[in-house]
Structures are given as C-alpha cells and as structure tokens.
Amino acid sequence: MPGMQEMGKTLLNIRSHMNGLTKTEQKVAQYILENAQDLIYDSVTELAEKADVGETTVLRFCRKMKFQGFQDFKLSLAQDLVKPTDHIHEEIAEDDDPLTLSQKIISTHLRTLEQTRELVAEEQLTLAIDALAQAGNIHFFGVGSSGLTAAQGAHSFARIGKNSLASSDTHFQAMQASLMNKGDVAVGLSISGSTKDTIDNLNIAKKAGARVIAITSNARSPITKIADIVLIVVGRENPLQGSSLAAKISQLAVIDILNVAVSLKMKDEAIKYREITAKATSDKLY
C-alpha cells in the first residue's frame, strides 16, 4: 500500500471516508487502497470480483465518493497515479530521440498483434466467422475510437456483398439495433468492454433477435455478459490513454481476419462483389 505522502487526493479521500462506508463498501475501498496502480486497467466487473462484492456496491461506492460512475473514478485515480509520459505512451521516455521513439512505438504495435494472435480463441473465432457468413445483415456498434473501427468493419464487409452498417450517432445506432432480426449479427467494439452506449445498443439488438459478437480487450466486462461470441484483443489502456492506436490496430486485425475468412467461405460471390464495388467507385479516382 502506498504511504500517506505517496497517496494522491483520490486515495486520501477514500481513506478519510472509510469510517462512513458500509462493510461491503469498505471491502471495495480497502482493495483500491492496496491495488490502486493495477486498478486503473480494470473494469467494474473485475473490481467487483476481486473485492468480492457486487457491481452495484462498486457503483454505490463511487457515487458516495462524489464520482458520476466508475469511469469517472478511474480517471481521477489515473490522474493521481500515472506519470506525465504515460499519458502519451507507456514505453516512452522524455529524453527519447525520434528514432528511438519510432522504434518503441512500432515494437509496441508488433507486440500488440502478436499478443492478440495468442488471445483470440479458435472456437470463438470459428463461431464468429460462421455467424457473419450466414448473416442477413451485419451492424457494427462502437463509439469514439471504436466507432472508427466499426465504420471500417462495415466498409470491409460491404465490399464483399454483405449488407453492413455502422452509424456514428448513438441514437441512429439504437434505431438500427431495434430493427434487427433473427439471422442478423451485431458486432460490438469496445476496448474497455464497459462503454455504456455500445452495450445498451447491443442489448436492443439482442432483444430484436440478432446474435451478438463482442470484440474487446477485457474478458471480464459488461459487454461479454450479453455477447454470444467473444473475441479478445490486446488493448490495455488507462483512462488517460483512450483512443490509443495500438488498441485500434488489434481491433482492425481481428476485423480483417473475419473479413478474409468470410470472403473465403463466399468464394466466387465475394470476388464478384469486390469487382462490382470497385467499379462503382472507380470514377472517383484520377
């Protein structure tokens, strides 16, 4: 546990409120005080399991500490704990020259891909490929950085003749989700696995009859609870490192694997649609 002088304001605030917490809330507080450095990478589900309490207890604790929710709490904790250079990139040092900088970042990206390859379970990957190959419609759901990946996913599957959509507006996402049917597939992208808008819209899609594929870096997170198929990627971020390119690379790699695999299942049909879509945009180039 960090000493009093090493504690940031968030941890000091928790300690000062300890006596006013319920017994279960005290278990959460004690776990946070003893494991603060690792906690900034955890989901609310993971913290609840590690502290041996329910998720509602964690959320109640956060509100009692005057935070809007768990992510707001983690952001405050990260600001106390993370070094300034870690805000930019975990591997970077302030005195790195441009060449060293480029080598470190590219090495991180390569390591991310290697680790993602090890994490993706063959059984889940096979189920995802089969579901997408058979899908009548494919909707990709994501916001922020994951929303950009969702758009790329929809684009890549549209090029092989799959009716694929991705909207950046969460209200449109909810509308699209509500109109999905049995035989459709909803693909949810969230590095943290705790993005509320994405999870809410996946729930709508599932109630409408769609199968849900989750692509996340957090195997113990809310998005995995509603998913029929879970694909794990590498993308460990603290709240100050949101939208990291390394995380996006791992998402895109899995999207590409799925797209190529589905293309092979569709064989000549995929080639035909690639030619059709290529011709449709050929006059947009000089």
What pLDDT digit, counting tens, does each position of 15-65 carry? Answer: 878 878 899 999 999 999 888 888 877 888 889 999 999 999 999 999 998
Question: What percentage of residues in the chain have a pLDDT greater than 70?
Answer: 90
Higher-pLDDT residue of 162, 44: 162
Q: Considering the domain 103-282 in this protein, what is its CATH number?
A: 3.40.50.10490
- CA dihedral for 83, 84, 88, 92, sign (positive or negative): negative
Residue 209 has pLDDT above 60, yes or no: yes
In DSSP terms, 140 is beta-bridged to 166, 187
Average pLDDT over residues 238-250: 68
Contacts of 281 (CB under 8 A, 6+ apart): none
The CATH 3.40.50.10490 domain(s) of the chain lie at: 103-282
pLDDT, residue 101, reads 81
* Euclidean distance between CA atoms 133 and 261, whole angstroms: 9
* Type and span of the H or E element at 211: strand 211-216
Higher-pLDDT residue of 54, 282: 54
Phi, psi at residue 215, to the nearest 5°? -115, 110
- Residue 251, classified by CB atoms within 10 Å of its CB into exposed (0-12), middle (13-18) or buried (19+), is buried
Residue 86 has pLDDT above 50, yes or no: no
Higher-pLDDT residue of 184, 144: 184
* Euclidean distance between CA atoms 47 and 252, whole angstroms: 28
The CATH 1.10.10.10 domain(s) of the chain lie at: 9-81
CA-based nearest residue to 121, from 254, 226, 265: 254
Q: C-alpha 149: how far from its chain's center? A: 11
Residue 238 has pLDDT above 90, yes or no: no
| SS3 at position 212 | strand
Give the chain's length: 286
Q: Considering the domain 9-81 in this protein, what is its CATH number?
A: 1.10.10.10
Highest mean pLDDT, choosing among 103-112, 232-241, 245-254:
245-254
**Mean pLDDT for the chain?**
86
Residue 237 has pLDDT above 80, yes or no: no
* Type and span of the H or E element at 163: strand 163-166
